[in-house]
Amino acid sequence: MYLISKIEDTVRVPPTLFDEPLEEIAFELLNENYVGMIDKKLGLMVTVKEIEEIGIGRVIMGDGAAYYNVTFTALFFKPELQEIVEGEVIEITEFGAFVRMGPMDGLVHVSQVTDDYINYDSKRGALLGKESKKTLEEGDKVRARIVALSLKGKSSKETKIGLTMRQPGLGRPEWIEKEKRKKK
């Protein structure tokens, strides 16, 4: 889920940037410092959306930089347990498929791809269902449910998101359509 949040912080503007437009510099510095960071309550910061207010600058003796209190809005991506997400398979391994959903990646373990027994085809880089003949390869679009979530650490590389596609209405679009036709 995406959400927008209002944040107040202090921006340090080095003296070399004093002749640049303050709002542009503050915008750049905030994005540089915070994009990709994770807040346990808000999720992964995707971008600074808008600067609402910049206070009067302060100079601290011995530093030379100016410090400004800034109020801004930022866009966050916060995955939720049991949320259904859509994404693209970016990597297949013998233990599962990594799915990119927006700015984060999750793992569909082989046991969570389908109810069928799954084989890993290393030549094709694909997961194959033994009886159902379902295949999962890099580049496939999928729908999955978040079943495990750990937003520990400071960046998206340290997060762990477990996904499943074993429930009705999940998996590749072709699987979902075939399932719908069977029910008619």
Q: What is the CATH number of the domain that holds 68?
A: 3.30.1490.120
**Which of 116, 96, 78, 115 shows the shortest CA–CA distance to 162?**
96
Asked if residue 88 and residue 145 are part of one domain, the reply reads yes
**Domain boundary residue among 51, 77, 103?**
77
Asked if residue 99 and residue 66 are part of one domain, the reply reads no
For 7, counting Cβ atoms within 10 Å of its Cβ (0-12 exposed, 13-18 middle, 19+ buried), the class is middle
Count of structural domains, the chain: 2
Asked if residue 155 and residue 116 are part of one domain, the reply reads yes
Give the whole-number percent of the chain exceeding pLDDT 90.
Answer: 67
The pTM score is: 0.81
Q: What's the pLDDT at 183?
A: 72
Q: How confident is the model at residue 64 (pLDDT cuts 50, 70, 90)?
A: confident
Asked if residue 115 and residue 151 are part of one domain, the reply reads yes
Q: What's the pLDDT at 14?
A: 93
Q: How confident is the model at residue 184 (pLDDT cuts 50, 70, 90)?
A: low
Calculate mean pLDDT across residues 124-149.
92
Q: Which domain holds residue 44?
A: 2-77
Q: What's the pLDDT at 62?
A: 86
